[in-house]
Structure 1
Amino acid sequence: MSERVLITGGGSGIGAGLARAFAARGDRVAICDSDPEAVARCAAELPGAIARTADVTDEAGMAAFLSEVEAEWGGVDVVCANAGTGGPAGRIETLDYAAWQACIATSLHGAFLTCRWAARLMRAQGSGLIVLTSSTAGLAGYPLRSPYSAAKWAIVGLTKTLAMELGPAGVRVNAICPGAVEGPRMDRVVAMEAAASGRSEEETRELYVRGVSLRTWVSVEDVAAAVLHLASPAARRISGQILAIDGHTETLAP
């Protein structure tokens, strides 16, 4: 049976992978992203999808996008609060306050606006799944990346709380914690962390691999497969869980 699936940050990376995976199984998909070019690519790749440019930190812009989806679908079955940003890299005494705020706003405030809308609809219909994107940085300390880690830890707390609030209404809430996911975003992160630490990009990449038990990076497809499982009948009793998709991170320390 086709489901109605909304994904924030759906224009690239994990979000685009989720959009492709849900569409491939026959679901209706709606995505938003702050990058108009990414939105255009998604619209071209997934005919019939609702694809809109919206910044998850803009309450008015998100209200317009979410209202359009609600008017079109009348409800929603799966919501992936996925939008996030890597934030700045460096020791905390070197960080700019505006950069800190921007990182927290995209990952946490954006999740709030998305989940507030989803909770209202799902509570009324008595069913639904919310999947929030945290990170392995939401499970451990992450030197030189304090705003990102703080935001992702907050997502874990939000997930646990919403699972308790919405569970009696038949709504499940879980978080995924991807490790280092291959792609342009991690390329930018590696470059940023290399500059902040004084290491080369090659050394920085090797540290990521050595810090994982499986000694490998994660693919977008790995993450999408896990989320599809959460959205399947096989996971109907899974809620309030924090699922690491990372090959088992042993350390994020430099």
Structure 2
Amino acid sequence: MSDADVAGNLNAGLAGLRVVVTAGAGGIGLAIAAELAAHGARLAVCDVDEGALAAFRKAFPDALAQRADVSDEGEVDAFFDAAGAHLGGLDALINNAGIAGPTGAVEDLDPAAWRRCIDIGLTGQFLCARRAVPMLKAAGGGAIVSMSSAAGKHGYAYRTPYSAAKFGVIGLTQSLAKELGPANIRVNAILPGIVEGPRMEGVIRDRAAQTGVSYAEMEATYLNRISLRRMVPQHDVATTVAFLLSRAGANISGQSLAVDGNVETL
């Protein structure tokens, strides 16, 4: 069997799939949207970055791209109303939106910054699932893929809001998998590790400043905690999402899939 045949089998079922991707105009979300579009999925994405949304509309003129803050119930409702109208229904939700949150000792953290991180990274996933589930049920089933993190299974000193949100995503995922399985809705979480890109560079920079070491030293510390000793390309996360939405992932639910090179600790 050729590589093309293997890829075709793995991605069978993606053509025509109606998919919402939150925070889909940049970073991992954009990589996911591009991968799904390449296999014929139909897209509706939201984001808070107007510049990224404008670029997305040019690159994917057939997709809906709308501004929405996933922590704002009214904006989420407006986005899902528009997504439903644009797509004519829904087959999958990619709950991708999240922020890095503050870096600091727990006694120094701003409670407002804590709440903002939880509101976007966890409550936002609830608000989107709340609107997506009736649409998925109307379609006869579907899938939810929620973005957690390696920080969702390892404690993460000085990044407590982020880690707490990502642990919460795992609990939400496992609970929804049990609740929605009888409706033929699969729910899984992906746990990216140290993903290449500006966001990770910012995390390393902030952690280096917090602990008083250089950027290079902190980057080496992160890499030495990964068995494969390398960062993960965004595309690897995107192809895992495609696999979970494809026919090959038809019996995978309630799982937390690490795409991280085996992060041993954080």
Same fold (TM over 0.5): yes
**Structure 1 residues 27-38: aligned runs within 5 Å:** 27-38=41-52
**Structure 1 residues 175-190: aligned runs within 5 Å:** 175-190=189-204
Q: Secondary structure at the match of 1:247?
A: coil
1:244 aligns to what? 258
List alignment gaps of at least 5 residues for structure 1.
Answer: none
2:79 aligns to what? 65
2:230 aligns to what? 216
Range with bigger deviation, 153-162 or 25-34: 25-34
The answer to whether structure 1 residue 119 and structure 2 residue 122 are counterparts is no
Whole-angstrom distance in 2 between the partners of 1:11 and 1:200: 32
2:91 aligns to what? 77
**Structure 1 residues 224-239: aligned runs within 5 Å:** 224-239=238-253
Deviation of 1:120 (Å): 1.2
Range with bigger deviation, 140-149 or 198-207: 198-207
The answer to whether structure 1 residue 160 and structure 2 residue 163 are counterparts is no
Q: Which of 23, 28, 38 pairs up with 1:24?
A: 38
2:92–2:136 CA contact under 8 A, matched in 1: no
1:56 aligns to what? 70
Whole-angstrom distance in 2 between the partners of 1:37 and 1:83: 17
Aligned partner of 1:167: which letter? Answer: G
Deviation of 1:198 (Å): 1.1
Write the deviation string for residues 78-102 of structure 1: whole angstroms up to 9, x where unpaired: 1100000000001101111001001
Q: Secondary structure at the match of 2:116?
A: helix
Which structure has more relative contact order (CA 8 Å, sep 6+)? It is: 2
Whole-angstrom distance in 2 between the partners of 1:207 and 1:80: 31
2:120 aligns to what? 106
Range with bigger deviation, 118-127 or 76-85: 118-127
2:8 aligns to what? none
Deviation of 1:221 (Å): 0.5
Whole-angstrom distance in 1 between the partners of 2:170 and 2:202: 25
Range with bigger deviation, 192-201 or 77-86: 192-201
Whole-angstrom distance in 2 between the partners of 1:179 and 1:17: 16
1:96 aligns to what? 110
2:211 aligns to what? 197
Write the deviation string for residues 150-174 of structure 1: whole angstroms up to 9, x where unpaired: 0000000000000001000100000
1:138 aligns to what? 152
Deviation of 1:115 (Å): 0.5
Q: Secondary structure at the match of 2:31?
A: helix
Write the deviation string for residues 56-110 of structure 1: whole angstroms up to 9, x where unpaired: 1111111111101112223111110000000000110111100100100010111
Give aligned pairs, total.
Answer: 252
Q: Secondary structure at the match of 2:191?
A: strand
Computed over aligned residues only, the root mean square deviation of the Cα atoms, in angstroms, reads 0.8
Aligned partner of 1:59: which letter? Answer: E
2:18–2:42 CA contact under 8 A, matched in 1: yes
Q: Which of 23, 29, 43 pairs up with 1:15?
A: 29
2:5 aligns to what? none
Whole-angstrom distance in 1 between the partners of 2:254 and 2:189: 8
Aligned partner of 1:65: which letter? Answer: F
2:10 aligns to what? none
Q: Secondary structure at the match of 2:265?
A: coil
Whole-angstrom distance in 1 between the partners of 2:44 and 2:140: 21
Whole-angstrom distance in 1 between the partners of 2:44 and 2:94: 10
Q: Secondary structure at the match of 2:101?
A: coil
Percent same amino acid among aligned pairs? 48
